[in-house]
Structure 1
Amino acid sequence: MRVLAILFAILFNFGSVFGQSEDNPAIWSHSVEKISETEYELTFKGIIQEGWHVYSQYTAEGGSLPSEFTFEGAGEDYELIGGTEESETIKEYSEIFEVEETFFKGEAIFTQKIKLLRPEVSQISVNLFYQICKEVCIPMDEFFQISLDGSAFITETKNLDEASVALGESLKIDLQNREVLSQGALGNSASKSNLWMIFGLGFLGGLIALLTPCVFPMIPLTVSFFTKRSQQRSKGIFNAIQYGFFIVLIYFLLSLPFHLFDSVDSQILNTIATNIWLNILFFIIFVFFAFSFFGYYELTLPSSWANKMDAASHKVGGGLGIFFMALTLAIVSFSCTGPILGGLLGSTTLAEGNVAINLSAGMVGFGLALALPFALFALFPAWLNSLPKSGGWMTTVKVVLGFLELALAFKFLSNADLVGNWGILKREIFLGVWIVLFVLLALYLFGAFRFPHDGPKQKLSVPRKIVGLFSAAFSIYLILGLANITHLRFLSGFPPPDFYSLQQTDSECPLGLDCYKDFDEGLAVAKEQNKPILLDFTGWACVNCRKMEENVWSQASIYRMLKDDYVLISLYVDDRKELPTDEQFDFKYDSGRIKSIETIGQKWGTFQTINFNAASQPYYVLLSPNLEILNEAVQYVDAEVYEEWLKSGLENYQLSMNRP
Structure 2
Amino acid sequence: MKKFITLFIFLSTLVLNAQTAEEPIKISTSVKKISDTEYDIIFDAKLYKGWYLYSQYNPDEASLPLVISIVEGETGYKLIGKADEKDTFKKYSEVWEKEEIVFKDKAIITQRIQLTNKEITQIKLNFFGQVCETACINIDEPFTLSLTKNEINISNSVDERSSALTKQLKLNLKNTSLLKNVANTKSENANGLFSIFFLGFIGGLLALLTPCVFPMIPLTVSFFTKQSQNKSKGIFNAILYGFFIVLIYILLSLPFHFLDNLDPEILNTISTNVWLNIFFFAVLVFFAFSFFGFYEITLPSSWGNKMDSASSIGGIIGIFFMALTLAIVSFSCTGPILGSLLAGSLTSDGGATQLTAGMSGFGLALALPFALFALFPNWLNSLPKSGGWLNTTKVVLGFLELALAFKFLSNADLVAHWGLLKREVFIGIWIIIFIGLALYLFAKIKFPHDSPIRKLSFARISFGVLVISFVIYITPGILKNPTWNLSLLSGFPPPQFYSIYEQETDCPLGLECYKDFEEGLVVAKQKNKPILLDFTGWACVNCRKMEENVWSVPNIYETLKNDYILISLYVDDNEKELPTNQQFDFLKPNGKVKRIKTVGDKWSTFQVINFKNASQPYYVLLSPNLEVLNTAQQYTDNETYYTWLQEGLRNFK
TM-score range, shorter chain: 0.7 to 0.9
Structure 2 vs 1, CA of residues 187 and 250 (structure 1 numbering), >3 Å: closer, same or farther? Answer: closer
Q: CA deviation at 1:399?
A: 0.4
Any idea what SS the aligned residue of 1:261 has?
helix
Counterpart check, 1:427 vs 2:423: yes
Q: Any idea what the Cα deviations from partners look like across 1:123-175, whole Å, max 9, x if unmatched?
A: x99988352345554233386999xxxx9989675444443232211111111
Q: Which runs of 5+ in 2 are unaligned?
A: 31-41, 71-82, 111-121
The residue aligned with 2:520 is 522
In structure 2, which of residues 300, 303, 315 is the aligned counterpart of residue 302 of structure 1? Answer: 300
Find 2:269's aligned residue among 268, 271, 285. Answer: 271
In structure 2, the partner of 1:593 is 592
- Counterpart secondary structure, 2:248: helix
Opposite residue 237 of structure 1, the aligned amino acid is I
* Cα distance change, pair 539–90 in 1 and its aligned pair in 2 (3 A): farther
- Measure how far apart 1:347 and its partner are: 2.5
Per mean C-alpha deviation after superposition, the further-off stretch among 406-415 and 125-134 is: 125-134
Please say if 1:319 is aligned against 2:328. no
Alignment of 1:343-358 (within 5 A): 343-353=340-350, 355-358=351-354
Which structure 2 residues correspond to residues 500-539 of structure 1 after superposition, within 5 A? Answer: 500-539=498-537
- Corresponding residue number in structure 1 for 2:253: 255
- CA distance in 2 between counterparts of 1:614 and 1:628 reads 18
1:386 — aligned with what? 382
AA aligned opposite 1:617: Q
Cα shift at 1:584: 0.9
**Residue in structure 2 matched with residue 233 of structure 1 by the alignment:** 231
How far off is 1:14 after superposition?
14
Is the alpha carbon distance of 1:154 and 1:109 closer, same or farther for their aligned partners in structure 2, counting shifts above 3 Å?
Answer: closer
1:534 Cα shift?
0.7
The whole-number CA distance in structure 1 between the counterparts of 2:405 and 2:445 is 23
Contact 2:424 2:478 in 1 (8 A): yes
Corresponding residue of 1:497: 495
Native 8 Å contact 1:438 1:471 kept in 2: yes
Moved more, 181-190 or 243-252: 181-190
**Residues 592/309 of structure 1: CA separation in 2 closer, same or farther (3 Å cut):** closer
RMSD, aligned α-carbons = 3.6
1:334 offset after TM fit, Å? 1.1
1:227 touches 1:233 (CA, 8 Å); kept in 2?
yes
Matched, 1:473 2:469: yes
Map residues 7-46 of structure 1 onto 2, 5 A cutoff.
24-26=22-24, 28=26, 44=44, 46=46
- Runs of 4 or more, structure 1, over 6 Å off, are 9-16, 29-32, 124-128, 151-156
Match of 2:373 in 1: 377
Task: Say yes or no: does 1:329 pair with 2:326.
Answer: yes
Match of 1:580 in 2: 579
Structure-2 separation of matches of 1:588 and 1:413 = 34
Indicate how the Cα distance of structure 1 residues 49 and 454 shifts in structure 2: closer, same or farther if over 3 A, else same. Answer: farther
Q: CA deviation at 1:189?
A: 3.9
Q: Which residue of 2 aligns with 1:607?
A: 606
- Is contact 2:131–2:138 with CA below 8 Å preserved after alignment? yes
Question: Which of these residues, 450, 456, 460, is aligned with residue 454 of structure 1?
Answer: 450
SS state of the match for residue 262, structure 1? Answer: helix
* Native 8 Å contact 1:211 1:397 kept in 2: yes
- Equivalent-residue separation in structure 2 for 1:222 and 1:6 (angstroms): 28
Deviation at 1:30, TM superposition (A): 6.5
Report if aligned partners of 2:22, 2:614 keep a CA contact under 8 Å in 1: no
Question: Would the aligned equivalents of 1:276 and 1:419 in 2 still touch at CA under 8 Å?
Answer: yes
Structure 1 match to 2:211: 213
Q: TM-score scaled by structure 1?
A: 0.85
In structure 2, the CA distance between the partners of 1:159 and 1:198, relative to structure 1 (3 Å rule), is closer
Note the alpha carbon deviations across 1:32-58, whole angstroms, 9 max, x for none.
Answer: 9xxxxxxxxx995635387x6432465
Instruction: Call closer, same or farther: CA 1:638–1:176 in 2, change over 3 Å.
Output: same
SS at match of 2:260: coil
Please give the alpha-carbon distance, in whole angstroms, between the structure 2 residues aligned to 1:45 and 1:232. Answer: 59
Match of 1:557 among 555, 559, 584: 555
Question: Residue 502 of structure 1: CA displacement?
Answer: 1.3
Superposition deviation, residue 109 in structure 1: 5.4
Q: Please, which moves more after superposition, 610-619 or 341-350?
A: 341-350
Q: Offset at 1:587?
A: 1.8
Over 3 Å counting, the alpha-carbon distance change for 1:397 and 1:430 in structure 2 is same
* Alpha-carbon distance in 2 for matches of 1:352, 1:15: 11
Cα distance in 1 for residues equivalent to 2:213 and 2:642: 50
Look up the match of 1:37.
none
TM-score of the superposed pair, with normalisation by structure 2: 0.85
Name the counterpart of 2:398: 402
Instruction: Check whether the contact 2:204–2:366 (CA below 8 A) recurs between aligned residues.
Output: yes
Deviates more, 1:182-191 or 1:483-492: 182-191
Count of residue correspondences: 614
Q: Distance in 1 between matches of 2:278 and 2:52?
A: 35
- The residue type equivalent to 2:586 in the other structure is F
Structure 1, unaligned runs of 5 or more: 33-41, 71-81, 113-123, 655-660
Write the deviation string for residues 421-444 of structure 1: whole angstroms up to 9, x where unpaired.
111111111111111100100011
Report how far residue 591 of structure 1 moved.
4.6
Partners of 1:516 and 1:325 lie apart in 2 by 58
CA–CA distance in 2 between the matches of 1:260 and 1:101?
24
Q: Distance in 1 between matches of 2:381 and 2:643?
A: 58
Letter in 2 for 1:593: K
